[in-house]
Amino acid sequence: MTKPILVTAIFMVLMTTTVALLAATASTDSSSNERATVEFPEPVRLRGVFLHGQYRVEHDEDRMAKGEDCTYIYNRKGTLVVSFHCIPVRRPKASRFLVVVNRELSTTSAPEIKELQFSGSTEAHRIP
């Protein structure tokens, strides 16, 4: 493979899936709930909803066990923006709140959130 093609291939892989470490604070309020406040400085998509600015992310293990929506995203006013039933995935322990996004090569579309992981947790929450 020639050098320009190799560089282009590496760039495309990096642009397809990127882990974004966003400015966030996280706290756990009980063994079954996780919460974090996160700032999206640039627009991102989550299940068809565009997020930009500050949001509160909550995950509830009890609701997940019941098959209900377990992950909730609230805006600064406390209004529910989007919720979903996540897919738990084992990951190395996170030192901060992590957001995995899929960056498409299109310049007209915002990156799509694929996974969330709370600080101190070894479980990520994949978006279906």
Task: Tell which wins on pLDDT, 91 or 18.
Answer: 91
Kindly tell me the burial class for residue 33, based on how many C-beta atoms sit within 10 Å of its own C-beta (0-12, 13-18, 19 or more): middle
Dist. CA 70–CA 39, nearest whole Å: 21
Task: Tell which wins on pLDDT, 127 or 5.
Answer: 127
**Total structural domains in the chain?**
1
Res 115: pLDDT? 96
> pLDDT-derived band of residue 5, with 50, 70 and 90 as boundaries?
very low
Task: Tell which wins on pLDDT, 3 or 42.
Answer: 42
* Domain region containing 44: 3-126
Dist. CA 70–CA 86, nearest whole Å: 7
